[in-house]
Amino acid sequence: MSARPLPGPPAARRTIVMGVLNVTPDSFSDGGRYLHADAAIARGLALAECGADIVDVGGESTRPGAERVAPQEELRRVLPVVTALAGEGVPVSIDTMRAATAHAAVAAGACLINDVSGALADPRMARVAADTGVDFVATHWRAPSSRMDDRDHYDDVVADVAAELAARVDALVRAGVRRDSIVLDPGLGFAKVTDSNWPLLSRMQEWSAGHRVLIGASRKRFLGAVISRAGNPEPGPKHRAHATTAVTTLAAAAGAWGVRVHDACAARDAIAVVSAWQNAAKATR
Ligand code: PMM
């Protein structure tokens, strides 16, 4: 019997939706909800059903202050979930800073490696990205979560992030990664004070250097700060849903390749609105 073909990365006719699936006890928004494989698999299928083009499976929280999880535990959490979802035909990405986890997940069917450290945390990651040949998300990152809040100073946040991401691209390409397989992500909330995130969103073209862009704003602290500043109640991550959808809309309109979100249905609908708006604008030209 021939092996079932593994699902590939989604085609990008419009901004794609990456659904967040944290198989962790302590992620800032959904920690503990999908720690058991059955619950995680059901959640992954539900995300795909309501519009996620790819489901991003992670087994280690990267919330500010988080400590690293043991490699074996990370693998134990993610592997059955990646295997089951890929087996169901759902495109899956693996959210990990560890080369061994990325390698095992791709062997189990993941079609994209999402490394929030941009291959800085594990010196073997670039080689795994090159050898597997799958798409690779390189996120702007400066230090592990337990220390990232000490590294949030920038002379000029857009120029500094652009230079640091360009250095990651160079290192990846030197290791054999195809330039066009690299997606860049500004790392919203990673070593960034609230006001550092907005210029990175509004000036995407200045740091992306022609690469595809992934935006991970979903439910993050800087959205809570904006809601509070506007004088509205902000009781926590789940109440940042509307602000998240606003970022999705603006990011899609600005040409982002993908958005990484907890609420796939809202993102799918927002992106459909952007496409309808842009198609109508093209038709009248
Ligand atoms: N943020 C988180 C985890 N993984 N991956 C990418 N590419 N970009 C991000 O901004 C990002 C990420 C943080 O938290 P969550 O998984 O709890 O949303």
pLDDT digits (tens, 9 = 90+) for 98-145: 999 999 999 999 999 999 999 999 999 999 999 999 999 999 999 988
Q: Are 87 and 55 in contact (CB under 8 A)?
A: no
**Residue of the nearest CA to atom 8 in ligand 1?**
216
pLDDT of residue 156: 98
Ligand 1 pocket (Cβ < 6 Å) reads 20, 22, 27-29, 58, 62, 95, 114, 116, 137, 139, 185, 187-188, 214, 216, 218, 260
Q: Which atom of ligand 1 is nearest to 139's Cα?
A: 7
Question: Which residue in the list 43, 63, 220, 240 is annotated as catalytic?
Answer: 220
pLDDT in tens, 28-85: 877 888 989 999 999 999 999 999 999 999 999 998 888 889 999 999 999 999 999 9
* Other CB atoms within 10 A of residue 235 CB: 9
Instruction: Identify the weakest region by mean pLDDT among 22-36, 100-114, 181-195, 216-230.
Output: 22-36
CA distances from 271 to 13, 17, 20 (A): 11, 9, 17
In 3D, which of 115, 118, 93 has the Cα closest to residue 6?
93
Give catalytic status of residue 260 as yes or no.
yes
| Band of residue 9 on the pLDDT scale cut at 50, 70, 90 | low
In which band, very low, low, confident or very high, does the pLDDT at 216 lie, cut at 50, 70 and 90? very high
* pLDDT attached to residue 12: 63
Q: Which tens digits make up the pLDDT trace of 146-162?
A: 889 889 999 999 999 99
Per-residue pLDDT at 6 exceeds 80? no
As given in the structure block, the two tokens for residue 143 are 């230090």
Asked if residue 127 lies in contact with residue 102, where contact means CB atoms within 8 angstroms, the answer is: no
Cβ partners under 8 Å of residue 161, min gap 6:
140, 154, 186, 187, 200, 207
How high is the mean pLDDT of the chain? 94
- What pLDDT is stored for residue 3 in this prediction? 42
Assess whether 282 carries a catalytic annotation.
Answer: no
| pLDDT at residue 4 tops 80 | no
Query: Residue 157 has what pLDDT?
Result: 98
Evaluate whether 115 touches 128 at the Cβ level (below 8 Å): no
Q: How far apart are the first and last CA of the chain?
A: 53
Closest CA to 92 of 182, 181, 27, 19: 19
